[in-house]
Amino acid sequence: MLRTDLIRPLTELLREHATRSGDKTAFADPGRSVTWADLDRRTARVAGHLADMGVRQSDRALLLVDNCVEAVESHLAVLRAGAISAPIHIGLEDGELAALLADSRATTVFTDSAHAVQVHRMRHDFPNLTIVLVDREGEELDDELPLYPLFSELAEIEPESPAEGDLDLDDLSFLTYTAGVTGAPRAVLFSQRNVMWAIAACYAPILGLGPDDRVACPLPLAHGITQQVAVIGVVATGATGWLAPTAAEDLSDLMANKTALLADLAAQRITFVAGIPSTYQDLLWAAENLDVDLPDLRIALVAGASSVTALRTRFEERFGRGLLDSYMTTETTGPVAVTWPADSRVDAACGLPIPGVNVRVIDQRTGKDAGVGQEGELWVSGPNVTAGGYHNQAAAIIDGWFHTGDLATRDAHGYLTITGRVAELITRGAEPVNPREIEHVLLGVDGVAAAVVVGELDEALGEVPVAYLQTGPDGVDPAAVFAACRALSPAKTPVKLYRVAELPRVRAGKPARLALRDLTAELIAVQSVESGTRTDPR
Protein backbone atom coordinates (compact mmCIF):
# COMPACT_ATOMS: atom_id res chain seq x y z
CA MET A 1 0.00 0.00 0.00
CA LEU A 2 2.76 2.48 0.90
CA ARG A 3 4.47 3.95 -2.21
CA THR A 4 7.99 4.06 -0.80
CA ASP A 5 9.31 4.91 -4.29
CA LEU A 6 7.81 8.38 -3.85
CA ILE A 7 9.59 9.18 -0.58
CA ARG A 8 12.47 10.90 -2.34
CA PRO A 9 13.67 14.51 -2.71
CA LEU A 10 11.44 16.51 -5.07
CA THR A 11 14.40 17.58 -7.21
CA GLU A 12 15.20 13.92 -7.91
CA LEU A 13 11.59 13.22 -8.92
CA LEU A 14 11.49 16.37 -11.08
CA ARG A 15 14.60 15.31 -12.97
CA GLU A 16 13.12 11.86 -13.50
CA HIS A 17 9.95 13.25 -15.11
CA ALA A 18 12.04 15.60 -17.26
CA THR A 19 13.97 12.59 -18.58
CA ARG A 20 11.03 10.22 -19.05
CA SER A 21 8.24 12.62 -20.03
CA GLY A 22 10.04 15.82 -21.00
CA ASP A 23 7.43 17.01 -23.53
CA LYS A 24 4.45 16.40 -21.26
CA THR A 25 2.76 19.42 -19.64
CA ALA A 26 3.67 19.66 -15.99
CA PHE A 27 1.68 22.78 -15.00
CA ALA A 28 -0.65 25.16 -16.79
CA ASP A 29 -2.67 28.29 -16.04
CA PRO A 30 -5.02 30.31 -18.28
CA GLY A 31 -2.06 32.08 -19.91
CA ARG A 32 0.84 29.65 -20.00
CA SER A 33 1.99 26.06 -19.61
CA VAL A 34 5.37 24.45 -18.93
CA THR A 35 6.65 20.97 -19.80
CA TRP A 36 8.55 18.78 -17.39
CA ALA A 37 11.80 19.34 -19.30
CA ASP A 38 11.38 23.13 -19.25
CA LEU A 39 10.33 23.08 -15.60
CA ASP A 40 13.55 21.28 -14.75
CA ARG A 41 15.70 23.71 -16.74
CA ARG A 42 13.97 26.90 -15.62
CA THR A 43 13.91 26.10 -11.90
CA ALA A 44 17.58 25.05 -11.98
CA ARG A 45 18.53 28.36 -13.60
CA VAL A 46 16.55 30.44 -11.11
CA ALA A 47 18.06 28.44 -8.24
CA GLY A 48 21.53 29.27 -9.54
CA HIS A 49 20.71 32.98 -9.76
CA LEU A 50 19.35 32.90 -6.22
CA ALA A 51 22.68 31.50 -5.06
CA ASP A 52 24.45 34.29 -6.98
CA MET A 53 22.24 36.78 -5.11
CA GLY A 54 23.41 35.36 -1.80
CA VAL A 55 20.51 33.04 -0.95
CA ARG A 56 21.86 30.23 1.23
CA GLN A 57 20.57 27.02 2.78
CA SER A 58 17.82 27.58 5.36
CA ASP A 59 17.18 31.16 4.19
CA ARG A 60 13.46 31.90 3.94
CA ALA A 61 11.76 33.14 0.78
CA LEU A 62 8.16 34.38 0.82
CA LEU A 63 5.95 33.86 -2.23
CA LEU A 64 3.38 36.67 -2.53
CA VAL A 65 1.96 35.63 -5.89
CA ASP A 66 -1.45 34.54 -7.15
CA ASN A 67 -1.73 31.04 -8.61
CA CYS A 68 0.21 30.77 -11.86
CA VAL A 69 2.93 28.65 -13.45
CA GLU A 70 5.63 31.06 -12.26
CA ALA A 71 4.43 30.71 -8.67
CA VAL A 72 5.10 26.95 -8.81
CA GLU A 73 8.42 27.53 -10.57
CA SER A 74 9.41 29.96 -7.80
CA HIS A 75 8.39 27.44 -5.14
CA LEU A 76 10.58 24.74 -6.69
CA ALA A 77 13.48 27.07 -7.47
CA VAL A 78 13.72 28.11 -3.82
CA LEU A 79 13.83 24.44 -2.85
CA ARG A 80 16.56 23.75 -5.43
CA ALA A 81 18.59 26.65 -4.02
CA GLY A 82 18.52 24.91 -0.64
CA ALA A 83 16.32 27.59 0.94
CA ILE A 84 12.92 27.35 2.63
CA SER A 85 9.86 28.34 0.59
CA ALA A 86 6.91 30.04 2.30
CA PRO A 87 3.84 30.89 0.18
CA ILE A 88 1.66 33.53 1.84
CA HIS A 89 -1.82 34.85 1.10
CA ILE A 90 -2.28 37.69 -1.36
CA GLY A 91 -4.37 40.66 -0.23
CA LEU A 92 -2.48 41.26 3.01
CA GLU A 93 -2.50 44.70 4.60
CA ASP A 94 0.88 46.38 5.03
CA GLY A 95 0.94 45.60 8.74
CA GLU A 96 0.15 41.94 8.13
CA LEU A 97 2.87 41.63 5.49
CA ALA A 98 5.42 43.37 7.71
CA ALA A 99 4.55 41.01 10.56
CA LEU A 100 5.13 37.95 8.37
CA LEU A 101 8.42 39.35 7.07
CA ALA A 102 9.61 39.92 10.62
CA ASP A 103 8.32 36.58 11.91
CA SER A 104 9.73 34.47 9.07
CA ARG A 105 13.01 36.42 8.88
CA ALA A 106 12.66 36.20 5.09
CA THR A 107 15.58 37.38 2.98
CA THR A 108 13.74 37.17 -0.35
CA VAL A 109 10.23 37.86 -1.65
CA PHE A 110 8.83 36.68 -4.99
CA THR A 111 5.92 38.90 -6.00
CA ASP A 112 3.93 40.08 -9.03
CA SER A 113 2.97 43.45 -10.47
CA ALA A 114 -0.23 43.53 -8.42
CA HIS A 115 1.77 43.51 -5.16
CA ALA A 116 5.18 44.86 -6.18
CA VAL A 117 4.59 48.40 -4.94
CA GLN A 118 3.42 47.12 -1.56
CA VAL A 119 6.49 44.87 -1.20
CA HIS A 120 8.73 47.77 -2.26
CA ARG A 121 7.30 49.80 0.64
CA MET A 122 8.49 47.08 2.99
CA ARG A 123 12.12 47.84 2.15
CA HIS A 124 11.92 50.91 4.39
CA ASP A 125 11.89 48.57 7.40
CA PHE A 126 13.61 45.61 5.69
CA PRO A 127 16.40 47.26 3.65
CA ASN A 128 18.25 44.00 2.88
CA LEU A 129 15.21 42.31 1.36
CA THR A 130 15.79 40.82 -2.11
CA ILE A 131 12.74 41.20 -4.40
CA VAL A 132 12.12 39.10 -7.50
CA LEU A 133 9.31 40.19 -9.84
CA VAL A 134 7.29 37.24 -11.04
CA ASP A 135 5.76 38.70 -14.19
CA ARG A 136 5.61 37.67 -17.80
CA GLU A 137 7.28 39.70 -20.47
CA GLY A 138 5.07 42.55 -21.63
CA GLU A 139 3.15 42.93 -18.36
CA GLU A 140 3.24 46.50 -17.07
CA LEU A 141 5.06 47.34 -13.85
CA ASP A 142 5.07 50.61 -11.96
CA ASP A 143 7.58 53.02 -13.53
CA GLU A 144 8.72 54.16 -10.09
CA LEU A 145 9.91 50.70 -9.07
CA PRO A 146 13.65 49.99 -9.11
CA LEU A 147 14.94 47.50 -11.66
CA TYR A 148 14.34 44.43 -9.56
CA PRO A 149 15.30 41.04 -11.09
CA LEU A 150 12.63 39.63 -13.40
CA PHE A 151 11.80 35.97 -12.95
CA SER A 152 11.29 35.59 -16.71
CA GLU A 153 14.90 36.63 -17.33
CA LEU A 154 16.36 34.55 -14.51
CA ALA A 155 14.61 31.47 -15.90
CA GLU A 156 16.07 31.94 -19.40
CA ILE A 157 19.65 33.05 -18.67
CA GLU A 158 22.26 30.60 -17.41
CA PRO A 159 23.65 31.61 -14.00
CA GLU A 160 27.36 31.90 -13.31
CA SER A 161 27.41 28.55 -11.58
CA PRO A 162 24.23 26.40 -11.51
CA ALA A 163 23.26 25.72 -7.92
CA GLU A 164 21.56 22.68 -6.50
CA GLY A 165 20.67 22.77 -2.84
CA ASP A 166 20.78 18.98 -2.64
CA LEU A 167 18.54 19.08 0.39
CA ASP A 168 18.20 15.80 2.24
CA LEU A 169 14.77 14.36 2.94
CA ASP A 170 15.11 15.42 6.56
CA ASP A 171 16.32 18.98 5.95
CA LEU A 172 13.73 21.67 6.63
CA SER A 173 12.38 22.78 3.23
CA PHE A 174 8.95 24.36 3.60
CA LEU A 175 7.26 26.89 5.86
CA THR A 176 3.46 27.15 5.99
CA TYR A 177 1.39 29.52 8.08
CA THR A 178 -1.62 28.18 9.96
CA ALA A 179 -5.08 29.60 9.29
CA GLY A 180 -5.06 31.71 12.45
CA VAL A 181 -8.60 30.77 13.50
CA THR A 182 -7.88 31.16 17.23
CA GLY A 183 -5.14 33.78 17.07
CA ALA A 184 -2.24 35.02 14.98
CA PRO A 185 -1.08 32.59 12.24
CA ARG A 186 1.85 30.40 13.28
CA ALA A 187 4.64 29.31 10.96
CA VAL A 188 5.12 25.55 10.73
CA LEU A 189 8.36 24.07 9.36
CA PHE A 190 8.48 20.84 7.35
CA SER A 191 11.02 18.49 5.87
CA GLN A 192 10.51 16.83 2.51
CA ARG A 193 9.99 13.52 4.31
CA ASN A 194 7.06 15.11 6.15
CA VAL A 195 5.33 16.26 2.98
CA MET A 196 6.11 13.15 0.92
CA TRP A 197 4.42 10.86 3.42
CA ALA A 198 0.96 12.14 2.47
CA ILE A 199 1.70 11.41 -1.19
CA ALA A 200 3.18 7.97 -0.56
CA ALA A 201 0.64 6.82 2.04
CA CYS A 202 -2.58 8.49 0.89
CA TYR A 203 -2.84 10.50 -2.33
CA ALA A 204 -1.13 7.93 -4.55
CA PRO A 205 -2.18 4.54 -3.09
CA ILE A 206 -5.61 5.38 -1.66
CA LEU A 207 -6.87 8.11 -4.00
CA GLY A 208 -4.94 6.82 -7.01
CA LEU A 209 -3.10 10.05 -7.86
CA GLY A 210 -0.84 9.26 -10.80
CA PRO A 211 0.66 10.45 -14.11
CA ASP A 212 -2.66 10.27 -15.97
CA ASP A 213 -4.35 12.68 -13.57
CA ARG A 214 -5.07 16.32 -14.26
CA VAL A 215 -5.16 18.05 -10.88
CA ALA A 216 -6.77 21.30 -9.73
CA CYS A 217 -6.99 22.95 -6.32
CA PRO A 218 -8.75 26.33 -6.71
CA LEU A 219 -7.33 27.75 -3.49
CA PRO A 220 -4.30 30.02 -2.97
CA LEU A 221 -0.86 28.43 -2.92
CA ALA A 222 -0.63 29.50 0.73
CA HIS A 223 -3.29 26.87 1.49
CA GLY A 224 -1.65 23.66 2.70
CA ILE A 225 -3.91 21.47 0.55
CA THR A 226 -2.88 23.38 -2.60
CA GLN A 227 0.79 22.82 -1.89
CA GLN A 228 0.28 19.17 -0.98
CA VAL A 229 -1.93 18.09 -3.88
CA ALA A 230 -1.62 20.61 -6.71
CA VAL A 231 2.15 21.17 -6.45
CA ILE A 232 4.00 18.49 -4.48
CA GLY A 233 1.55 15.74 -5.44
CA VAL A 234 1.88 16.64 -9.10
CA VAL A 235 5.69 16.75 -8.96
CA ALA A 236 5.85 13.48 -7.04
CA THR A 237 3.61 11.49 -9.38
CA GLY A 238 4.18 13.18 -12.74
CA ALA A 239 0.56 14.29 -13.08
CA THR A 240 -0.46 17.60 -14.69
CA GLY A 241 -1.47 20.54 -12.50
CA TRP A 242 -3.99 23.24 -13.44
CA LEU A 243 -3.50 26.53 -11.58
CA ALA A 244 -6.62 28.65 -11.21
CA PRO A 245 -6.16 32.34 -10.27
CA THR A 246 -7.93 33.29 -7.04
CA ALA A 247 -7.73 37.11 -6.91
CA ALA A 248 -10.99 39.07 -7.21
CA GLU A 249 -11.28 42.85 -6.94
CA ASP A 250 -15.03 42.97 -6.35
CA LEU A 251 -18.19 40.85 -6.15
CA SER A 252 -18.64 40.69 -9.92
CA ASP A 253 -15.09 39.37 -10.30
CA LEU A 254 -15.77 36.80 -7.60
CA MET A 255 -18.89 35.55 -9.36
CA ALA A 256 -17.05 35.45 -12.68
CA ASN A 257 -14.25 33.43 -11.07
CA LYS A 258 -16.73 30.80 -9.90
CA THR A 259 -18.21 30.41 -13.36
CA ALA A 260 -14.76 30.39 -14.98
CA LEU A 261 -13.60 27.73 -12.55
CA LEU A 262 -16.33 25.31 -13.53
CA ALA A 263 -15.74 25.98 -17.23
CA ASP A 264 -11.98 25.48 -16.80
CA LEU A 265 -12.37 22.22 -14.88
CA ALA A 266 -14.45 20.87 -17.75
CA ALA A 267 -12.25 22.25 -20.55
CA GLN A 268 -9.05 21.01 -18.88
CA ARG A 269 -10.60 17.58 -18.31
CA ILE A 270 -9.70 17.70 -14.63
CA THR A 271 -9.76 14.31 -12.91
CA PHE A 272 -8.75 15.24 -9.35
CA VAL A 273 -10.03 18.28 -7.43
CA ALA A 274 -9.13 19.23 -3.86
CA GLY A 275 -10.82 22.05 -1.99
CA ILE A 276 -12.71 23.18 1.08
CA PRO A 277 -16.53 22.88 1.40
CA SER A 278 -17.05 26.35 -0.10
CA THR A 279 -15.14 25.22 -3.22
CA TYR A 280 -17.88 22.74 -3.98
CA GLN A 281 -20.62 25.17 -3.00
CA ASP A 282 -19.12 27.56 -5.57
CA LEU A 283 -19.13 24.86 -8.25
CA LEU A 284 -22.79 24.09 -7.53
CA TRP A 285 -23.63 27.80 -7.71
CA ALA A 286 -21.84 28.05 -11.07
CA ALA A 287 -23.65 24.95 -12.32
CA GLU A 288 -26.96 26.78 -11.86
CA ASN A 289 -25.77 29.37 -14.38
CA LEU A 290 -23.68 27.20 -16.69
CA ASP A 291 -24.76 23.99 -18.38
CA VAL A 292 -21.42 22.23 -17.94
CA ASP A 293 -20.63 18.74 -16.66
CA LEU A 294 -17.41 17.23 -15.32
CA PRO A 295 -17.31 13.83 -17.03
CA ASP A 296 -13.58 13.26 -16.36
CA LEU A 297 -13.76 13.95 -12.64
CA ARG A 298 -13.02 10.90 -10.49
CA ILE A 299 -11.84 12.39 -7.14
CA ALA A 300 -13.34 15.38 -5.31
CA LEU A 301 -11.51 15.72 -1.99
CA VAL A 302 -12.71 17.93 0.87
CA ALA A 303 -10.16 19.41 3.29
CA GLY A 304 -10.36 22.05 6.00
CA ALA A 305 -13.74 20.82 7.31
CA SER A 306 -16.00 17.86 6.71
CA SER A 307 -18.76 18.26 4.15
CA VAL A 308 -22.36 18.18 5.32
CA THR A 309 -24.84 15.63 4.00
CA ALA A 310 -26.80 18.18 1.96
CA LEU A 311 -23.66 19.36 0.14
CA ARG A 312 -22.52 15.81 -0.63
CA THR A 313 -25.97 14.88 -1.91
CA ARG A 314 -26.29 17.95 -4.14
CA PHE A 315 -22.80 17.52 -5.57
CA GLU A 316 -23.29 13.86 -6.38
CA GLU A 317 -26.68 14.50 -7.97
CA ARG A 318 -25.27 17.28 -10.16
CA PHE A 319 -21.84 15.91 -11.10
CA GLY A 320 -22.16 12.16 -10.54
CA ARG A 321 -19.26 11.96 -8.08
CA GLY A 322 -19.35 11.84 -4.32
CA LEU A 323 -17.24 14.11 -2.12
CA LEU A 324 -14.49 12.39 -0.13
CA ASP A 325 -13.90 13.86 3.31
CA SER A 326 -10.54 14.08 5.03
CA TYR A 327 -9.03 15.43 8.21
CA MET A 328 -5.74 17.30 8.13
CA THR A 329 -4.00 20.08 9.98
CA THR A 330 -1.20 22.38 8.89
CA GLU A 331 1.05 20.67 11.43
CA THR A 332 0.47 17.20 9.93
CA THR A 333 1.35 18.15 6.32
CA GLY A 334 -1.49 16.25 4.77
CA PRO A 335 -4.30 13.90 5.71
CA VAL A 336 -4.44 12.21 9.07
CA ALA A 337 -7.58 10.41 7.95
CA VAL A 338 -9.46 10.13 4.66
CA THR A 339 -12.58 8.55 3.22
CA TRP A 340 -11.66 5.87 0.67
CA PRO A 341 -13.28 6.10 -2.79
CA ALA A 342 -14.97 2.69 -2.55
CA ASP A 343 -16.05 3.14 1.05
CA SER A 344 -19.69 3.17 2.11
CA ARG A 345 -18.87 6.17 4.26
CA VAL A 346 -20.09 6.82 7.77
CA ASP A 347 -22.08 10.04 7.79
CA ALA A 348 -20.15 12.95 9.35
CA ALA A 349 -16.96 10.86 9.65
CA CYS A 350 -13.76 12.06 8.00
CA GLY A 351 -12.50 8.57 7.34
CA LEU A 352 -9.86 6.12 8.55
CA PRO A 353 -6.32 7.05 9.59
CA ILE A 354 -3.85 6.72 6.71
CA PRO A 355 -1.09 4.08 6.87
CA GLY A 356 1.80 4.92 9.18
CA VAL A 357 -0.12 7.59 11.09
CA ASN A 358 -1.16 6.83 14.67
CA VAL A 359 -4.05 8.55 16.43
CA ARG A 360 -5.40 8.64 19.96
CA VAL A 361 -8.57 10.26 21.32
CA ILE A 362 -7.84 11.39 24.89
CA ASP A 363 -10.48 11.99 27.55
CA GLN A 364 -9.53 15.37 28.99
CA ARG A 365 -10.95 14.54 32.40
CA THR A 366 -8.91 11.38 32.92
CA GLY A 367 -5.98 11.84 30.52
CA LYS A 368 -6.62 8.31 29.24
CA ASP A 369 -7.81 6.99 25.88
CA ALA A 370 -11.49 7.68 25.37
CA GLY A 371 -13.90 4.85 24.70
CA VAL A 372 -15.76 4.14 21.49
CA GLY A 373 -17.94 7.12 20.61
CA GLN A 374 -16.59 9.20 23.49
CA GLU A 375 -15.35 12.71 22.73
CA GLY A 376 -11.79 13.72 23.50
CA GLU A 377 -8.77 15.58 22.16
CA LEU A 378 -7.15 14.07 19.08
CA TRP A 379 -3.44 13.25 19.31
CA VAL A 380 -1.41 12.33 16.22
CA SER A 381 2.04 10.83 15.68
CA GLY A 382 3.85 9.69 12.57
CA PRO A 383 6.30 10.72 9.85
CA ASN A 384 3.88 13.39 8.60
CA VAL A 385 4.01 15.45 11.80
CA THR A 386 6.11 18.61 11.46
CA ALA A 387 9.81 17.97 11.96
CA GLY A 388 10.57 21.62 12.65
CA GLY A 389 7.63 22.52 14.86
CA TYR A 390 6.52 26.13 15.02
CA HIS A 391 9.01 28.75 13.91
CA ASN A 392 9.71 31.00 16.94
CA GLN A 393 7.29 29.01 19.17
CA ALA A 394 7.11 25.66 20.94
CA ALA A 395 4.88 23.12 19.21
CA ALA A 396 2.39 21.03 21.14
CA ILE A 397 4.36 17.81 20.57
CA ILE A 398 4.82 15.79 23.74
CA ASP A 399 6.58 12.41 23.75
CA GLY A 400 6.17 12.24 19.97
CA TRP A 401 2.44 13.02 19.99
CA PHE A 402 1.06 16.20 18.43
CA HIS A 403 -1.82 17.50 20.56
CA THR A 404 -4.06 18.88 17.82
CA GLY A 405 -6.47 20.83 19.99
CA ASP A 406 -9.30 19.26 17.96
CA LEU A 407 -12.10 17.31 19.56
CA ALA A 408 -12.98 13.97 17.99
CA THR A 409 -14.75 10.67 18.44
CA ARG A 410 -13.81 7.28 17.05
CA ASP A 411 -16.30 4.53 16.31
CA ALA A 412 -15.90 0.77 16.66
CA HIS A 413 -14.49 0.51 13.13
CA GLY A 414 -11.87 3.23 13.67
CA TYR A 415 -13.60 6.04 11.76
CA LEU A 416 -12.76 9.51 13.05
CA THR A 417 -15.31 12.29 13.37
CA ILE A 418 -14.07 15.80 14.23
CA THR A 419 -16.51 17.45 16.58
CA GLY A 420 -14.89 20.79 17.39
CA ARG A 421 -11.98 22.54 19.06
CA VAL A 422 -10.95 22.30 22.70
CA ALA A 423 -10.52 26.08 22.80
CA GLU A 424 -14.02 26.61 21.41
CA LEU A 425 -15.85 24.68 24.16
CA ILE A 426 -18.41 26.74 26.04
CA THR A 427 -18.60 25.90 29.75
CA ARG A 428 -22.26 26.43 30.67
CA GLY A 429 -22.30 25.95 34.40
CA ALA A 430 -20.48 22.63 34.83
CA GLU A 431 -21.51 21.35 31.40
CA PRO A 432 -19.20 21.63 28.37
CA VAL A 433 -21.09 22.70 25.23
CA ASN A 434 -19.59 22.07 21.80
CA PRO A 435 -20.54 25.00 19.50
CA ARG A 436 -20.06 22.97 16.31
CA GLU A 437 -22.75 20.52 17.40
CA ILE A 438 -25.17 23.45 17.63
CA GLU A 439 -23.97 24.88 14.31
CA HIS A 440 -24.73 21.60 12.58
CA VAL A 441 -28.33 21.83 13.81
CA LEU A 442 -28.63 25.49 12.83
CA LEU A 443 -27.58 24.74 9.24
CA GLY A 444 -30.61 22.48 8.95
CA VAL A 445 -33.06 25.30 9.75
CA ASP A 446 -34.79 26.94 6.80
CA GLY A 447 -33.30 30.33 6.01
CA VAL A 448 -29.94 29.77 7.72
CA ALA A 449 -27.14 30.04 5.15
CA ALA A 450 -24.25 29.97 7.63
CA ALA A 451 -23.92 29.93 11.40
CA VAL A 452 -21.29 30.33 14.09
CA VAL A 453 -21.88 29.79 17.82
CA VAL A 454 -19.64 31.32 20.50
CA GLY A 455 -19.75 31.71 24.27
CA GLU A 456 -20.96 34.87 25.98
CA LEU A 457 -20.25 35.66 29.64
CA ASP A 458 -23.14 35.04 32.04
CA GLU A 459 -23.13 35.95 35.75
CA ALA A 460 -24.95 32.81 36.86
CA LEU A 461 -23.61 30.16 34.46
CA GLY A 462 -20.19 31.50 33.49
CA GLU A 463 -20.83 31.15 29.76
CA VAL A 464 -23.86 30.63 27.55
CA PRO A 465 -24.05 29.98 23.81
CA VAL A 466 -25.09 32.72 21.39
CA ALA A 467 -25.51 32.26 17.63
CA TYR A 468 -24.52 34.51 14.73
CA LEU A 469 -26.57 33.75 11.63
CA GLN A 470 -26.11 34.62 7.99
CA THR A 471 -29.59 34.26 6.52
CA GLY A 472 -31.17 33.97 3.11
CA PRO A 473 -33.19 36.78 1.49
CA ASP A 474 -36.39 35.77 3.32
CA GLY A 475 -34.78 35.80 6.75
CA VAL A 476 -35.29 33.16 9.41
CA ASP A 477 -37.95 32.30 11.99
CA PRO A 478 -36.34 32.56 15.48
CA ALA A 479 -38.95 30.19 16.91
CA ALA A 480 -37.84 27.50 14.46
CA VAL A 481 -34.21 28.07 15.42
CA PHE A 482 -34.90 27.75 19.14
CA ALA A 483 -37.11 24.68 18.62
CA ALA A 484 -34.46 22.90 16.59
CA CYS A 485 -31.80 23.56 19.21
CA ARG A 486 -34.03 22.58 22.16
CA ALA A 487 -34.51 19.23 20.46
CA LEU A 488 -30.76 18.82 20.75
CA SER A 489 -30.64 19.94 24.38
CA PRO A 490 -31.97 22.88 26.40
CA ALA A 491 -28.42 23.58 27.57
CA LYS A 492 -27.28 23.77 23.96
CA THR A 493 -29.94 26.25 22.89
CA PRO A 494 -28.48 29.72 22.14
CA VAL A 495 -29.79 32.42 24.42
CA LYS A 496 -29.40 35.07 21.72
CA LEU A 497 -29.63 35.11 17.95
CA TYR A 498 -27.69 37.70 15.97
CA ARG A 499 -27.99 38.35 12.26
CA VAL A 500 -24.96 39.43 10.20
CA ALA A 501 -24.66 40.28 6.52
CA GLU A 502 -21.68 37.95 6.22
CA LEU A 503 -19.79 35.90 8.76
CA PRO A 504 -16.12 36.90 9.11
CA ARG A 505 -13.62 34.29 7.94
CA VAL A 506 -9.87 33.93 8.00
CA ARG A 507 -8.12 33.66 4.63
CA ALA A 508 -8.23 29.86 4.81
CA GLY A 509 -12.03 30.08 4.66
CA LYS A 510 -12.74 29.01 8.25
CA PRO A 511 -14.93 31.12 10.59
CA ALA A 512 -13.02 33.84 12.42
CA ARG A 513 -14.66 33.26 15.80
CA LEU A 514 -12.64 35.86 17.66
CA ALA A 515 -13.70 38.56 15.19
CA LEU A 516 -17.39 38.05 16.04
CA ARG A 517 -16.96 39.88 19.33
CA ASP A 518 -16.09 43.09 17.47
CA LEU A 519 -18.66 42.66 14.70
CA THR A 520 -21.69 44.89 14.31
CA ALA A 521 -24.63 42.51 14.38
CA GLU A 522 -28.41 42.78 14.61
CA LEU A 523 -29.92 41.11 17.68
CA ILE A 524 -33.05 39.38 16.38
CA ALA A 525 -34.16 37.21 19.32
CA VAL A 526 -33.45 36.51 22.99
CA GLN A 527 -34.35 33.47 25.02
CA SER A 528 -34.52 33.47 28.80
CA VAL A 529 -31.92 31.13 30.28
CA GLU A 530 -34.20 30.16 33.16
CA SER A 531 -37.59 29.80 31.50
CA GLY A 532 -36.68 28.96 27.94
CA THR A 533 -39.21 31.52 26.71
CA ARG A 534 -38.44 33.80 23.80
CA THR A 535 -38.63 37.54 24.25
CA ASP A 536 -38.52 40.47 21.86
CA PRO A 537 -34.93 41.84 21.86
CA ARG A 538 -36.23 45.39 21.54
Task: Give how many domains the chain has, as a whole number.
Answer: 2
d(CA 111, CA 114): 8
Does residue 508 surpass a pLDDT of 70?
no
The reply to whether 468 falls in a domain is yes
The reply to whether 418 falls in a domain is yes
Q: What is the mean pLDDT of residues 366-381?
A: 94
Query: Do 407 and 436 sit in the same domain of this protein?
Result: no
Q: Are 14 and 235 contacting, i.e. CB atoms less than 8 angstroms apart?
A: yes
Per-residue pLDDT tens over the stretch 303-358:
877 777 888 899 999 999 999 999 999 899 889 999 999 876 667 689 999 999 99
Q: What is the mean pLDDT of residues 40-67?
A: 94
The reply to whether 433 falls in a domain is yes
Query: Do 510 and 432 sit in the same domain of this protein?
Result: yes
Query: Do 372 and 474 sit in the same domain of this protein?
Result: no
Does residue 16 surpass a pLDDT of 80?
yes
Q: Are 149 and 157 contacting, i.e. CB atoms less than 8 angstroms apart?
A: no
Nearest to 388 by CA among 192, 85, 232, 172: 172
Per-residue pLDDT tens over the stretch 279-299:
998 999 899 989 999 999 999
pLDDT at 538: 46
pLDDT at 169: 92
pLDDT at 480: 93
Query: Do 389 and 485 sit in the same domain of this protein?
Result: no
Among the candidates 371, 398, 423, a domain finishes at 423
Query: Do 448 and 361 sit in the same domain of this protein?
Result: no
Average pLDDT over the chain, rounded to an integer: 88
Does residue 536 surpass a pLDDT of 60?
no
What is the span of the domain harbouring residue 363?
Answer: 350-423
d(CA 143, CA 337): 50
The reply to whether 368 falls in a domain is yes
Query: Do 429 and 531 sit in the same domain of this protein?
Result: yes
Non-local (6+) Cβ contacts of 30 within 8 A are 244, 245, 264
H-run or E-run covering 501:
none
Nearest to 260 by CA among 31, 91, 506, 508: 31
Query: Do 431 and 531 sit in the same domain of this protein?
Result: yes
The reply to whether 172 falls in a domain is no
What pTM value is reported for the model? 0.83
Query: Do 496 and 453 sit in the same domain of this protein?
Result: yes
Non-local (6+) Cβ contacts of 28 within 8 A are 34, 69, 240, 241, 242, 243, 268
Handedness of CA 390, 395, 401, 406 (dihedral sign): negative
Start-to-end C-alpha separation, the chain: 62
The reply to whether 132 falls in a domain is no
Q: What is the mean pLDDT of residues 199-225?
A: 95
Q: What is the CATH number of the domain that holds 362?
A: 2.30.38.10
Bigger pLDDT: 359 or 430? 359
The angle at the Cα of 119, spanning 115 to 122, to the nearest 5 degrees, equals 155
The reply to whether 447 falls in a domain is yes
H-run or E-run covering 362:
strand 358-362
CA distance readout (Å), 220 to 128, 168, 428: 27, 27, 38
Query: Do 416 and 429 sit in the same domain of this protein?
Result: no
The reply to whether 490 falls in a domain is yes
Q: What is the CATH number of the domain that holds 453?
A: 3.30.300.30
Nearest to 396 by CA among 329, 327, 304: 329
Per-residue pLDDT tens over the stretch 34-44:
999 999 999 99
Bigger pLDDT: 196 or 183? 196
Picking from 75-84, 241-250, 395-404, which range would have the lowest pLDDT averaged per residue? 241-250
CA distance readout (Å), 538 to 286, 471, 531, 535: 40, 20, 19, 9
Does residue 135 surpass a pLDDT of 50?
yes
For a pLDDT cut of 90, what percent of the chain falls above it? 60
Query: Do 375 and 466 sit in the same domain of this protein?
Result: no
Query: Do 480 and 378 sit in the same domain of this protein?
Result: no
Q: Beta 496-499 vs 462-471: how paired, if at all? A: parallel
Among the candidates 423, 450, 475, a domain finishes at 423
d(CA 203, CA 196): 10
Query: Do 509 and 465 sit in the same domain of this protein?
Result: yes
